[in-house]
Structure 1
Amino acid sequence: MGKKIIALFTSIGIIGVLLLYVNGKIAIANENQDLLTLVTILESENIDINGWSLHAREKYETKRLEDVQKHVEQLKKNFPDWTWRISSDAKKWQAIASRTSSEGIEESIQVLSTLTTQNPQTYMIYEARGKNFTGKTEQFIKEDVTRKISDIFRGNTTFFSCIKGEINDKMNTTLPFTVNKILDKFQAVEVESLKETNFISTSAYSPLLANGLRTTKNNMNLQLGVRAEGLGAKTTLVVGTPIITIEY
């Protein structure tokens, strides 16, 4: 009887681990899906995408530099074809890896540890960025990025997605009209905005996006910056979830 109970709990434990692994994969896929959602909606509005980025980061919960260095050694084994650089000074220890794919996608991994005696902290960062967004890019996001993030992080990961684009506004529509039309496509509710003659920056919440931040009053998971160069000229756009992390 005792052996049956032990076997039962062992089976339950294995199933639990498998469920955590599968749920972690699903969570990562959902976070990556935000970038694909941005692409799909912007392309439906005939917006030309000329830049995109996916940024993931996580706090590494350890106070021992030796643990961080062991993790980096494992990462070097997982990513042997990347270029690795390790450096340190009196305040920090860091490892940086980078590579550029044949499709021109730039990737980097950064592990940064502060060397303070009272409260040392370590952060791990992964970033992928490119220019054109093609079918191969979508496959890369769905498959390669999901696998790499599983190898790098432990599970409590924060994601940021950004896209740069251009709107060839032949209809000479006003800037507020353009912003509202894009927000409508995201089914987004505006939280706050900054409006100038040739520039509008808007924070909003969209039910179509998984990421989110809590402000003092509302949730937000979408930032949009649109700049008009003049009537008949191209209008530039940057959109990010949950916030914009690139210059615009």
Structure 2
Amino acid sequence: MNMVRTIFFGFIFIILGYSYLQATISHAHNNNLSEIESILELAHHEELIVQEWQLRMREGQGQIKGQDAFLQHVHNLNNQFTDWDVSDVHMSEAEWSVSATRSLNQDDCFERLSIYAYEQNGSYEIIHTYELNGTSTQALGERELHELLEERRTLFSLQDSPVYSQVTSVRAEDSEYVEPSLMEQARAMISTLGAKEIESLNEETFVSVSAYNDVWTDAIVTNGNKMNLQVALRSGDTMGSGTTVTIGTPIITTEY
């Protein structure tokens, strides 16, 4: 009887352990995209028209001595690019670079790995930048996209990189939304996303607010304060162009 009981409870522990592992994996997948999913929920609530979203990881890969070592580094990755469109290697005095791009099955969704080398005290620092871009918000809800992000993190040695997320959207000028000032809009979005303002820039046709959400994992430090959210609004320069809303975590990584 004791043996049966031991086997029974051992089986229960295995089941519980497996369930915990699966929940942990699922939680990890969700964490990868939780910030951008929150931003998209905000965009839907604010009746914004999403134009583009982007996920980005960036990490240094160590130092090399010269061009031959850079070309060898690129060559070592070539077997990963069988169905990618690989650019020519660009070499200038400032940097060496090459990029590989691949379209995904999801509508208007593609990925890109850029490899750079910059001079640094007589040696050259290699950097990998991986981007996942799209216009279809439905693609972000697919589990395959979560898994792809984790796969690329391992494949391209980006394990220590935060996931930078960004959404660019537009509020049409003829929208029924009653618009307060740009700054009031930005601060309302910051509040909706559960963050506290750290610093801001307020101009006539452009505002930017940096903030911190203590629930989100990744953050950077600016002027001694942590920040992991940036909201920028720019009103149209011409009639009918509306207001462009760019939201990024932990910071906006493109021109806005």
Which TM-score tier does this pair reach, normalised by the shorter chain?
A: 0.7 to 0.9
Q: What's the offset of the Cα at 1:120?
A: 1.6
Asked if residue 78 in structure 1 is aligned to residue 85 in structure 2, the reply is: no
TM-score, L = length of structure 2: 0.74
**How far did residue 38 of structure 1 move?**
1.9
Task: From 234, 248, 252, give the equivalent of 1:227.
Answer: 234
- Map of 2:170 onto structure 1: 166
1:113 aligns with 2:117: yes
**How many residue pairs are counted as aligned between the two chains?**
225
Report deviation, 1:163. 0.6
1:43 is matched with 44
Q: Which residue of 1 aligns with 2:9?
A: none
Partner SS, residue 50 of structure 1: strand
Unaligned ranges ≥5, structure 2: 1-23
CA distance in 1, matches of 2:178, 2:199: 25
Q: Secondary structure at 2:124's aligned position in 1?
A: coil
1:55 counterpart residue number: 56
Partner of 1:126: 130
1:118-137 deviation digits (Å, cap 9, x = unpaired): 22211111112122311x33
RMSD: 3.2
For residues 93 and 196 of structure 1, do their structure 2 counterparts lie closer, same or farther at Cα, with a shift above 3 Å needed?
closer
**2:191 maps to which residue?**
184
Residue number among 87, 94, 97 corresponding to 1:94 in the alignment? 97
Query: Per the alignment, in what secondary structure is the counterpart of residue 172 of structure 1?
Result: coil
1:209 paired with 2:210, answer no
The verdict on how the C-alpha distance between 1:27 and 1:122 changes in structure 2, with shifts beyond 3 A counting, is farther
Q: SS of the counterpart of 1:120?
A: strand
Change (3 A) 1:154 1:228: closer
| Deviation of 1:214 (Å) | 0.7
The CA deviation string for residues 183-215 of structure 1, in whole angstroms up to 9 with x for no partner, is 111111111111233332111112343221111
8 Å contact kept, 2:229–2:247 = yes
Contact 1:32 1:146 in 2 (8 A): no
Residue matched to 2:203: 196
SS at match of 1:187: coil
After TM superposition, the structure 1 stretch with the greater mean CA deviation from structure 2, 217-226 or 38-47, is 38-47
Contact map agreement 1:56 1:125 (CA 8 A) in 2: yes
Unaligned runs of 5+ in 1: 1-22
The aligned residue for residue 248 of structure 2 is: 240
User: SS of the counterpart of 2:163?
Assistant: strand
Give 3-state SS (helix, strand or coil) of 2:137's partner: coil
3-state DSSP of counterpart to 1:236: strand
